[in-house]
Chain A
Amino acid sequence: MRPRPLLLNAVDRLGRKIDPAVLSIAHEIGPRALAYARIPIGDPAEAINYLEEAAASVSAAIEQKRCSGTPEVRNVAAYLFRTFVRMVDEARRKKPVLEASSRENGNAQLCLSAQVRVETTVLLNEVMATCDRGSREVVVLRLEGFSWAEIGKHLSISTHAAEARFSKALEHARKTLKIPRRKGLGGLSSCLREGAGRKDTNLNR
């Protein structure tokens, strides 16, 4: 079976141009380069990206040598392959560090969402334990997906009163428990903001 030809771009992923002569050599050494990168990189598409980057770097180096009058590269294929090997090795060295970093980031987010969950439940328990019946009813109906207008109609109060009761109940619980407002986490703060009346909306700007 004939090997499938490599499809290399004339620019690398950073937008740097690849000299046509270097590109042609990159096509020639492509299969060998991909075989080298199979274990450390794994993904052939990523390996091709590195090969394009190496080709762009080599193109720039050749151009620089030409301009400065320094001796030309004798064996471009070997030069390109060495550049590619250096890039792959560097990527392999960085890989565990990047993975550990993203894992830590993921764990931190997990802890934070767990904290928001706990805060939400504590807040709602406080509302149910300390607030008057009207406020409790509004909170329960809101949790059940009723709009402010539907809550108002159901409890025979105005839409604004429904919003204000919800807001006051949660604000009161939050102050009692000293739970800080959070931005973009579990909608806790934004929910308070949305539930707040005009006065609170201004305060939260």
Chain B
Amino acid sequence: MSSGRRRSKGHKPKPVDKEFLELGRKHFAEGFPNPSREGCPNDDVLKLLAEKPAHVADDVQKHITSCSPCYRTYSKFLHKIKTARSH
């Protein structure tokens, strides 16, 4: 018999976890400035990564976690998708 607590499948982060998640998000969104945009993919590729992650090469996925401008663009596309799905 399970002693673990059951949670609803779509539960949102608790306030204390939000702090950790916010720290992490801020780290990737601001911690890797890349003013010369060296090695950055096109916005279309980032959009595709947000929409269909399996269709994009591994390098691009890795790039967004080491380039804050690309991370922010990817984040913008992700949130557009999320909003569209929720309506």
Are the chains A and B members of one assembly?
Answer: yes
Q: Classify the interface of chain B: helix, strand, loop or mixed.
A: helix
- By size class, the interface of chain A is 35 or more
Bound together, the chains give a CA A154 to CA B52 distance in angstroms of 8
B37 contacts A by Cβ under 8 Å: no
Bound together, the chains give a CA A194 to CA B21 distance in angstroms of 12
Instruction: Write the nearest CB–CB distance from B27 to chain A, whole angstroms.
Output: 5
- By size class, the interface of chain B is 35 or more
Bound together, the chains give a CA A202 to CA B79 distance in angstroms of 34
A124: B residues at CB distance < 8 A = 24, 27-28
B2: A residues at CB distance < 8 A = 198
List which B22-42 residues lie within 8 A (CB) of chain A: 23-25, 27-28, 31
Could you jot down 8 A-B contacts, CB within 8 Å? A120-B24, A121-B23, A136-B65, A143-B21, A143-B24, A150-B82, A156-B54, A190-B16
Interfacial residues, chain B to chain A (CB-CB below 8 A): 2-5, 9-21, 23-25, 27-28, 31, 53-54, 58, 61-62, 64-66, 75, 78-79, 82, 85
Given contacts A136-B65, A186-B19, A187-B21, 20 further A-B contacts (CB under 8 A): A116-B23, A121-B24, A128-B65, A136-B62, A137-B53, A140-B64, A143-B21, A144-B25, A144-B79, A147-B11, A155-B53, A156-B54, A159-B9, A184-B16, A186-B20, A186-B23, A190-B14, A190-B16, A190-B17, A191-B20
